[in-house]
Every structure is written in structure tokens, then in C-alpha cells.
Copies of this chain bind each other. A is one copy, B any other.
Amino acid sequence: MLAVAVREARTGLAEGGIPIGAALFDVHGVLLGSGRNRRVQDGDASTHAETAAFRAAGRRRTYRDTIMVTTLSPCWYCSGLVRQFGIPRVVVGEARTFHGGHDWLAEHGVAITLLDDPACAGLMTDFIAARPELWFEDIGQD
């Protein structure tokens, strides 16, 4: 499932964007929607990878049967999305380059799988080194 999110992240990088991707699956592994950070591509500060995947999955009555997969530890904004909509499981590609709200989600009963995937970490390490101002803009740090 991580491969779908990584593919989104790589597409974002090729577009000149921030290489974070995400995908929402059901418990049977069926892809419901995927997306990537679109700050640069759409000039849209509100579209993080997880919110893009959530949007792409369309309107749903419940998220109890879904899994959010993301290349990077979800920020507070995306962690809030997971908590509000009751997504019970999050697979995190890596949390080396950014430690978001996944511990908070775990405290609130969300099952977190932290993969520490070298490909995900490599994408962000290289990106932060190349475009630090864009990265800090994306997480709201001056």
C-alpha cells in the first residue's frame, strides 16, 4: 500500500512540488483515493497529501473501515483529520524528517504502523536540503 503513496510523492516532486503522498484504502486493500501535497502545483496551502487522498475518496458515511497510508508522519492538521473522521489505522512511511501527531493519534486509539522506510526518508531528506523555505512554509514554521 505504501507504494501508491510513494508514487504520489514522486509525481509531486516531478511537478516541482513537495514530495509527500498518501492513499486511503479500505480494510480489504481496495484503493479509495490517493493524492499528494499540492501547495506548489495549485497554490493551495490547504491540500496536504492526506487531505488530498481523503478528498479523492469522496463522501463516505463512515471511515471505520479505512486505512490511511502516508509517506510522512501526519502533521497536526492531517492528524486532526484522522481523529475527526475516525480513521482507525494509519501507516506512516517515516517520521525521521518530521515528527507529527502520530503519537497523539496512538494515544487516542488509532493503530499506527511506523515503517521507517528509506525511500520515503530519502525523498524528504533531499527535498528539505534543496528547498528548506518551501518545507517550512508547508508546516507553518517561520
Contact = CB atoms under 8 A, between A and B. Distances in A.
Given A45-B58, A45-B60, A64-B142, 20 more contacts: A39-B59, A45-B55, A45-B57, A45-B59, A46-B52, A51-B51, A59-B137, A61-B137, A61-B142, A63-B140, A75-B80, A75-B84, A76-B83, A77-B77, A77-B83, A80-B80, A80-B81, A80-B101, A84-B139, A86-B140
Contacts of A62: 140, 142
Contacts of A137: 59-61
A76 B86 contact: no
A78 interface: yes
Nearest to A50: B46
Interface string A104-132: 00000000000000000000000000000
Interface string A63-86: 110000000000111111101111
A65 to B, nearest CB: 11
A55 B60 contact: no
26 contacts: A43-B58, A45-B57, A45-B58, A45-B59, A45-B60, A46-B52, A46-B54, A46-B81, A51-B51, A59-B137, A61-B137, A61-B142, A62-B140, A62-B142, A75-B80, A75-B84, A76-B80, A76-B83, A76-B84, A77-B83, A77-B84, A77-B85, A80-B83, A85-B140, A86-B141, A86-B142
